[in-house]
Each structure stands twice: as structure tokens, then as C-alpha cells.
Amino acid sequence: MNTTPTIPVPRATYGLIMGLSTMVAGAAAWLLAAWLGADALTLKSVVIASGLGALATAAPVVLSLDRDRWGVFVMGAGVARMLLSLGYCYAAREATPELMARPLFVGVVAGAMLLLIVEVTVSIKILSALDQRRAGAAATGASSGKLA
């Protein structure tokens, strides 16, 4: 019998932080692409690619998973974000040769990497806090004789 207390994942906190981070990363991707000399069509593609990546970023917020699965799902969302963003860049570049490849790919990858760094940091902090709470609850329950 598992007597370890269940502590929910703070998905709203994660969602708020990642939502703001997604906007900052998208803006950084756009600014870097513009700095690299991207034209309007390429900048539009940077925004679309960043938006597609944001869909994967929202998945851990929307889905209700337990603590152990949530951490793995966050990692999978990061991979999905990169695949969606870069997949779009590749497809858009193949379909529209006028797109400037270097600003498109460098901008999108830089934004996605920035978001990945924030995502990993936030999820580690959340999971560490959950572990500390669970250990504290288990110790409190064991000392009071509730958990055996």
C-alpha cells in the first residue's frame, strides 16, 4: 500500500511562467532574425514557427498528469517544440525559396533554446519543491504515527 501523500503539480504557476517566457522567447527570435537581416516574409515565418512551438509548451499545462509523469511530459514537450518549430522552418523554406534561411533558422532555434532553458529550470524547481513537500509530509506523518 502506498502511503506517500499526493501533492498536485502547480500547473497554473508553470503555465503563467511558461506563457510569459514563450512571449519573451518569441520576441527574442523575431529580434534576432530582424538583426540578421530578415525580410517581412521571413519574420512572419519566425512568428509562425514560434507559435507552433508554443502549442507544445502548453501541453503540460493543459493535461492533468501525476508528478512522475509530468516531469517526463515536460521533457517531451521541449522536444516536440523543437520538432514543430524546425519542421515548420524546413517546410516553409522548401515551399518558399524566397525565405532567408539563416535568419529564419537561427532566430527560431535561439528562441526555442531560450525557452528550453527556462522550461528546464522551472520544471526542476517545481519538481524539487514537490519532493521537499512530499518528504516533509511523509516525515510529519511518520512522526505522528499516521503513516506506517
* Distance from C-alpha of 54 to C-alpha of 18, rounded to nearest angstrom: 9
CB 85 within 8 A of CB 52: yes
Rounded to 5°, the CA angle 39-43-49 comes to: 145
Mean predicted confidence (pLDDT) in 81-85: 94
Residue 96 gets which letter from DSSP? -
Query: Which residues neighbour 78 within 8 Å (Cβ) at sequence distance 6 or greater?
Result: 56, 116, 119, 120
Up-side HSE of residue 57: CA atoms within 13 Å toward CB? 31
Please give the grid coordinates belonging to residue 53.
512551438
Q: Which grid coordinates are listed for 32?
A: 534576432
Of the ranges 25-39, 72-86, 127-141, the best mean pLDDT one: 25-39
Q: What is the pLDDT of residues 39-81, one digit of tens each?
A: 999 999 999 999 999 999 888 888 887 777 888 888 899 999 9
Percent of the chain exceeding pLDDT 90 equals 57
106 pLDDT above the threshold of 80: yes
Find all residues with CB under 8 Å of 72, minimum gap 6, and list them. Answer: none
Q: Name the band, by pLDDT with cuts 50, 70 and 90, for residue 129.
A: confident
Q: What pTM value is reported for the model?
A: 0.81
Out of 93-97, 104-108, 120-124, which region has the weakest mean confidence (pLDDT)? 120-124
